[in-house]
Amino acid sequence: MSEKILIAEVNAAEWDASMTDFHGGVFHHSAWINAMAGKDRQALFLHFEDPQLGLVGKLAGQLVQSRLKFNKDLYFFSGLLTLGNDAVVRKTCLRSLLKYARSKKCGRIFLHAFDFREDQPMAVPGFYHKAMNEFVINYSALDGPPKISSNLKRNAAKARKAGVVVESDTSSAVLHRLMELLDTTRSTRRDKYGCDYDPMYIQGMDAASLERVLDSGLGKMFVAKQEGLIRTVLFALESEAGLYFLLMGSDDKAYELGIPSLVALELSKYAQSQGKIYYNLGVIPNEAQGGEGLRRFKEQQGASEEKAFSYYSWYLRFPLRWMNPFLSRKARRFRVDVPVPTPSDY
């Protein structure tokens, strides 16, 4: 391969046309990228092209207006797609991405890893990385149905006994109810753990963008009703290969009745009935925000923790580049192996 890889901006149709050669997740879908775009968020589809070999990589996300008016950032939802898993190709693509970001006068690059797998992190000058593991039920690796904990089964049985039914619905009314339930869940977790969190944890995600995801067909909601009242709503992303657990909101009664457990089991059954290869239950927050409880909930469904890594650039433009030593110290609180910025990063 060449030492230099060129980056070309393409439209959604061109992006989709070559996806069959790459193994992307739900966050690589053009429907998702376009749905998350907005006033200060431009959808971005990038092809990485080797002068000799042609297309070798793909990356899609947003060009985002940052909180500083003079600055823009590159934000990507999921990992760099390459033909095969050649570390040299991947590193060369990321070095080219740094040059591209500077040409766009971007302040930073945020390369997340939602619905993406990577066994080992890469050391690329100009970037540091952070573990971003997710919990996945890999049906293709199982001889039968996933192993469900007896506790989850008991809670689900309790919900059924209370007359709870689970159905699919993509209406605006149910989406509105989900927003209400997310506020309730947020308040419950804040009272329980003593700290706040943002349920809209992905750039550009709000009620309007989620409705666009539903309209595109990529989104699917599972609704749990008891005595005609919506107690729990789970928002999932569905591709041909798998399902992704994006959001779930519940009221206080739902937890008393074990409804989240029933919804979890019904979604897994749906995935298996549709011949999905996997069901990704997503990330968990840190321990202070209830991460251990959510870890148990996901593992009780038969999910295993799988590795992935997010990559973040140092500040790329003056005067913020002088902040890189401080950013390095902040990053080291999360990972001990964050590299110290080199003088070229200052």
pLDDT, position 340 = 39
pLDDT, position 286 = 67
| Pairwise CA distance, residues 292 & 118, whole Å | 23
> What is the arithmetic mean of pLDDT over 175-186?
90
- pLDDT band of 339, cuts 50, 70, 90: very low
> What is the arithmetic mean of pLDDT over 16-45?
95
The answer, yes or no, to whether residue 335 has pLDDT greater than 60, is no
- pLDDT band of 345, cuts 50, 70, 90: very low
Which residue, 263, 177, 252, 268, is CA-closest to 222? 263
- pLDDT band of 143, cuts 50, 70, 90: confident
Q: Is the model's pTM score more than 0.85?
A: yes
pLDDT, position 332 = 58
The answer, yes or no, to whether residue 168 has pLDDT greater than 50, is yes
Most confident of 64-78, 167-181, 286-300: 167-181
pLDDT, position 293 = 82
Lowest pLDDT segment from 22-31, 76-85, 183-192: 183-192
Which residue, 114, 120, 130, is CA-closest to 280? 114
Which residue, 129, 149, 113, is CA-closest to 25? 113
145 with 247: CB under 8 angstroms?
A: no
> What is the arithmetic mean of pLDDT over 203-221?
96
- In the predicted model, what is the mean pLDDT of the chain? 89
> What is the arithmetic mean of pLDDT over 147-166?
96
pLDDT, position 68 = 67
Query: DSSP code of 302?
Result: T
Q: Which residues have CB under 8 Å from 143's CB, separation 6+?
A: none
pLDDT, position 331 = 62
Is 3.50.50.100 the CATH number for 6-133+308-345? no
Is 3.30.465.10 the CATH number for 136-306? no
pLDDT, position 238 = 97
Percentages helix, strand, coil for the chain (3-state, rounded to 5) are 40, 25, 35
pLDDT, position 3 = 75
Q: For the chain, which residues make up each domain, given as ranges?
A: 6-133+308-345, 136-306
Question: What are the pLDDT digits (tens) for 246-261?
Answer: 999 999 999 999 999 9
Share of residues in the chain with pLDDT > 70 (%): 88
DSSP, residue by residue, 81-140: EESTT-HHHHHHHHHHHHHHHHHTTEEEEEE--TT---SS----TTEEEEE--EEEEEGG
Token pair recorded at residue 230: 């919506």
